[in-house]
Amino acid sequence: MARTIGSHGPTTMEAIRKAGLRLIFEHGYEAMSLRQLAAEVGIQPGSLYNHISTKQELLSQLIQDHINHLLSELELALRDKRGAVERLRAFVAFHVSYHMTRKREVFIANSELRSLEPRNYEAVVALRGAYERRLADILTDGVAEGVFDVDDIQVATFAIIALLTGLCSWYRPGGRLTKDAIIAAHEKLVLSGVMPHSAASPSGGDGKRGEQA
C-alpha cells in the first residue's frame, strides 16, 4: 500500500525545499502549515518526516544554506575587484542581481529570522554579520582611500543593505525595467550616496568622479 502516489527518491527533499521556500515566502513561516507543504509536494504530512526532522529545522536549513551560498558567491564576485569604488560597485551589482534571482531565499532570510530558535538564530546572525562586514570593509577602505565620504560606517552599511534588499518587496521578473537598468539605478544611488559631493566636500570636486551622477 505504500507509496501509491507522490514523489519519491532523492527528488523529494528537493521538492520539499522548493515548495517550502515558496510557501514561506508567500505566507510566512508561522502561517505555512506542513499539511499545505505536504500537499504541494504530493505526499502525506507524516511523510515529510522522512526528510526533515522538524518544521523549525527546515526553516533553519533553508536560511543557512542561502546565506552560505550568498557568502560564497559574494567572494567570487569580489575576487578580482580592486579599489573601493570598483568593489562597492561590484557589491551592489552582485547583491542586486542575486536578490533578483533569489528573491524568496533573501526575503525569508531577512523576515523569518525571528522565527528561528535561539541556537539557529545565532548561527544565522553570525553568518549575516560576515556578509555585512564585507560591505563595511569596503566602505571603510573607501574612506581611507579618500574616495568615500561616509559619516558613520555602521549606519551606512545597514542603510545600503536595506536599500538593496528592499528590492525583494517589489521586484517582479518581466516588469517595466530590465535587470541591467535596475542594477544601474541602484549602483548610481549607492555610489552617489557615499561618494563625496563637490558641493559638500571640495576634495570631491576634482572631477574624477563627477561623471558618475
Partner DNA sequence: AATGAATGAGATTTCATTCAT
Partner DNA sequence: AATGAATGAAATCTCATTCAT
Residue whose cell numbers read 563625496: 196
Instruction: Tell me whether residue 57 or residue 206 sits nearer to DNA (CB atom).
Output: 57
Termini Cα distance of the chain = 67
Binding residue count for DNA, defined by CB under 7 A: 28
For the stretch 64-74, what's the b/e string if a residue is b when 16 or more beta carbons lie within 10 angstroms of its beta carbon?
A: bebbeebeeeb
Among 7, 31, 47, 100, binds its own copies (CB under 8 A): 31
Q: Considering only residues 139-158, where is the footprint of its own copies by CB under 8 A?
A: 149, 151-152, 154-156, 158
Among 21, 24, 48, 116, binds DNA (CB under 7 A): 48
Please say whether the beta carbons of 95 and 73 come within 8 A.
Answer: no
Please say whether the beta carbons of 109 and 67 come within 8 A.
Answer: yes
Among 21, 24, 32, 136, binds DNA (CB under 7 A): 32
Please report, to the nearest 10 degrees, the dihedral formed by the alpha carbons of residues 74, 160, 112, 31 taken in order.
-120
Note whether 47 binds DNA by CB under 7 A.
yes
Instruction: Tell me whether residue 19 or residue 115 sits nearer to its own copies (CB atom).
Output: 115
64 binds, among DNA, its own copies, none (CB under 5 to 8 A by kind): none
**Position 205: which residue type?**
G
Q: What is d(CA 51, CA 102) in angstroms, rounded to the nearest whole number?
A: 23
Contact footprint for its own copies (CB under 8 A): 26-28, 30-31, 111, 114-115, 149, 151-152, 154-156, 158-167, 169-170, 176-177, 181-182, 184-190, 192-213
